[in-house]
Amino acid sequence: MARSPGRLLGLSVEVGTTAAVIGIIWLLTADSHSPFIPSLPTILSTFRSVWLFQRFTSDVIPSVERLALGFFAAVVVGVPLGLMIGMSKWMRMLTRPVATFMRSLPPPLMVPVAISLFQIGLVMKVFSIAFVCIWPIALNTEDGYAGLNPTILETAHAYGLGFWKRLFKVILPAVSPRIFTGLRISVAFAVLLLVLAEQLGSSNGIGWFVLYSQQGYDVPGMWAGILMLALLGIGANAILSLAERRVLRWHFNLRGLDV
Amino acid sequence: MDMQPAQLGPAQPVVSALRRNRLSALVRVERAQSVVLGALGIGVAICAMELVTKSGLVESRDVPPAFDIINLFFANVGTTYFWTVIGQTMVQWGIGFAIALVIAIPLGMAIGASELLWRALRPTIEFLRPVPPVAFLALLILLYGPSAKSAIILVVFGSMWSLLIQAVYGMRDRDEVMLDTARSLGIGSWRRLRSVTIPSVLPYLATGVRLGVAYALIGCISAEVLIGSPGLGKEVWLDFENGATTLAYSYILASGLVGLLLHLVSTRFEKRYLKWHYSQREVTG
């Protein structure tokens, strides 16, 4: 039983197995005869020639821009919406069924809706990302606000803090763990919507490039694109959890959890 | 508020029964309020949408009036075509989700059972988890085209991770003392599995199922919209293409109701097992 392996041993297990996994994929694809699955070195060299830096500015940057704009719009609308609803029990009861329905709408359907509303363009992509991401953010913010210990709010009142001070110094920090829960759900949706929107209506972007390569039977190019999309998803997640650790450091410390 | 009648005087149960009645009356009033207000909210939303289009703020070609959508929805409900489309989505969803359950839960439990295995595979799992399954849509077009198979594969990939990870967490959260106690009492491995392992994994799995159900539907509809696998997503896409906007929105309404139904069933399922979990936590401190 390796219940508590030494630090070095643990690390070598992690690195060793990961290297082994990559090695196995390498070997399995090395003499692949499938026209759809090229060997790992082919994918990697295509990846390098496509993304460093031939198509970086023409496709990666627009994708990141769309993702950031849509996500940002969802935060700017979703957090205040959630706070407004969370402040009153009546508002919560009034909006709950509609908001639950909105959240249950399958996100991929927002892309055709956005295309029909705004035609193909930046607005359509930003709208479809934002519309889907608003609900998890708003609902989590609302739940977080409603679940606050009333003493916190009453104390802030008793100290005579003004509205803005109360909002930024008391309410937002107290609700922030729940806001981040919403953001974490949303970031996955944002990447999903970006990929769909770029494949259904775009003439550049990583998602478009994957479909374009596939339609031209450029299989290594398609795989290079898939790899880039994977990195985009991983990157977006990593940035968010970095932000979360910074913002919520006090929270984790408070709970005595190691970050 | 749990009672322990065996330790209380004879009058006690009567009093707490009274209190419980009053409490449940309060709960009932609250529940009635939320039903009435919720219905009002739905009404306001529908009327707002109707007004937006009727007042010409948005062209009714772009967003059809809400009542037209609802009327068409109810007209469609009587047709077999409507149920065929929903059936196609649900079959792909069901097959894919069942495959994901069968693969991910035993795999996750096996990984979570061993500290060594978890440490070894964790970097790979953590790396693959944020990869959007829709990245592979183009590959699925090449491999299987606009078939149900493509949708099923996307359902499996969409829902697998949350099930796997939750199974791992559940296994790692088992009480070591309880396991050791069971072991030293000579309780066989089958009974240990049944009375220690499964109860502590179940709440985690319930959460995994709730998340997985939603991600499975997303995977399914993504394949339908983009690749043209049969089902609601394809229907909505084609209706928009043909300019039948009202029809498209009526199928979006249907998709939302399907999503809502799955959400309600899975949250109820989760609540049932989480409730058990937390009450257990309170007792053990």
The H or E element containing residue B20 is: helix B11-54
Instruction: Please state, in angstroms and rounded to a whole number, the distance separating the CA atoms of residues B262 and A128.
Output: 23
Query: The tokens of B65 are what?
Result: 């009036």
What is the count of residue pairs from A and B with beta carbons less than 8 Å apart? Answer: 160
**Residue B119 and residue B168 in contact, taking contact as beta carbons nearer than 8 Å:** no
Cα-trace Rg, chain B = 25
Domain shared by B95 and B28, yes or no: no
Domain shared by B125 and B31, yes or no: no
Q: Domain boundaries in chain A?
A: 41-255
Instruction: Please give the share of chain A, as a percent, with pLDDT higher than 90.
Output: 53
Domain shared by B123 and B153, yes or no: yes
Closest CA to B135 of A19, A118, A191: A191
Tokens 């257990």 identify what position?
B280
Q: Which residues of chain B have pLDDT under 50?
A: 1-11, 279-285
Domain shared by B38 and B114, yes or no: no
Query: The tokens of A240 are what?
Result: 């968010």
pLDDT of residue A253: 58
Instruction: Please state, in angstroms and rounded to a whole number, the distance separating the CA atoms of residues B211 and B97.
Output: 11
In angstroms, the Cα distances linking A237 to A185, B130, B192 are: 10, 7, 38
- CA torsion B244-A211-A60-A228 (nearest 10°) is 130
Q: How many domains are contained in chain B?
A: 2
pLDDT of residue B284: 34
- Indicate the pLDDT class of residue A187, thresholds 50, 70 and 90: very high
**Residue B172 and residue B112 in contact, taking contact as beta carbons nearer than 8 Å:** yes
The domain spanning residue B125 has which CATH number? Answer: 1.10.3720.10
Domain shared by B163 and B229, yes or no: yes
- CB contacts of A226 in chain B (<8 Å) are 135-136, 138-139
* DSSP letter string, A146-192: HTS-HHHHHHHHHTT--HHHIIIIIIHHHHHHHHHHHHHHHHHHHHH
Domain shared by B128 and B169, yes or no: yes
pLDDT of residue A4: 53
Mean per-residue pLDDT, A222-230: 93
Owning domain of residue B230 = 66-284
Amino acid in position B258: V
In-domain check, residue B274: yes
User: For A28-78, how does the pLDDT look when each residue is reduced to its tens digit (9 = 90+)?
Assistant: 888 777 888 888 888 899 999 888 878 888 899 999 999 999 999 999 999
Tokens 């069942």 identify what position?
B98
pTM for this predicted structure: 0.87
**Residue B235 and residue B251 in contact, taking contact as beta carbons nearer than 8 Å:** yes
Selected for mutation to probe chain B from A24, A92, A109, A181 (highest B CB count within 10 Å) is: A109
pLDDT of residue B180: 85
pLDDT of residue B276: 61
- Boundary of a domain, candidates B54, B74, B92: B54
In-domain check, residue B205: yes
**Residue A126 and residue A163 in contact, taking contact as beta carbons nearer than 8 Å:** no
- Asked whether residue A25 carries a pLDDT value surpassing 60, the answer given is yes
In-domain check, residue B219: yes
pLDDT of residue A142: 92
Topology adopted by domain A41-255: MetI-like fold (1.10.3720)
**Residue A82 and residue A168 in contact, taking contact as beta carbons nearer than 8 Å:** no
Domain shared by B188 and B101, yes or no: yes
- Indicate the pLDDT class of residue A259, thresholds 50, 70 and 90: very low
Mean per-residue pLDDT, A204-220: 92
Domain shared by B23 and B91, yes or no: no
Mean per-residue pLDDT, A189-216: 93
pLDDT of residue B112: 92
Closest CA to B212 of B133, B138, B145: B133
Closest CA to B123 of A241, A184, A12: A12
Q: Say if the ipTM goes beyond 0.85.
A: yes
Domain shared by B15 and B141, yes or no: no
pLDDT of residue B198: 86
pLDDT of residue B254: 96
- CB contacts of B136 in chain A (<8 Å) are 226
**Residue B266 and residue B97 in contact, taking contact as beta carbons nearer than 8 Å:** no
Query: The tokens of B147 are what?
Result: 């078939």
pLDDT of residue A229: 93
- B245 with A116: Cβ contact below 8 A: yes
Instruction: Please state, in angstroms and rounded to a whole number, the distance separating the CA atoms of residues B238 and B5.
Output: 64
- CB contacts of B41 in chain A (<8 Å) are 93-98
- CB contacts of A109 in chain B (<8 Å) are 221, 225, 232-233, 236, 252, 255
In-domain check, residue B248: yes
Average pLDDT over chain A, rounded to an integer:
88
In-domain check, residue B59: no
Mean per-residue pLDDT, A13-25: 89
Instruction: Please state, in angstroms and rounded to a whole number, the distance separating the CA atoms of residues B31 and B53.
Output: 33
- Asked whether residue A252 carries a pLDDT value surpassing 80, the answer given is no
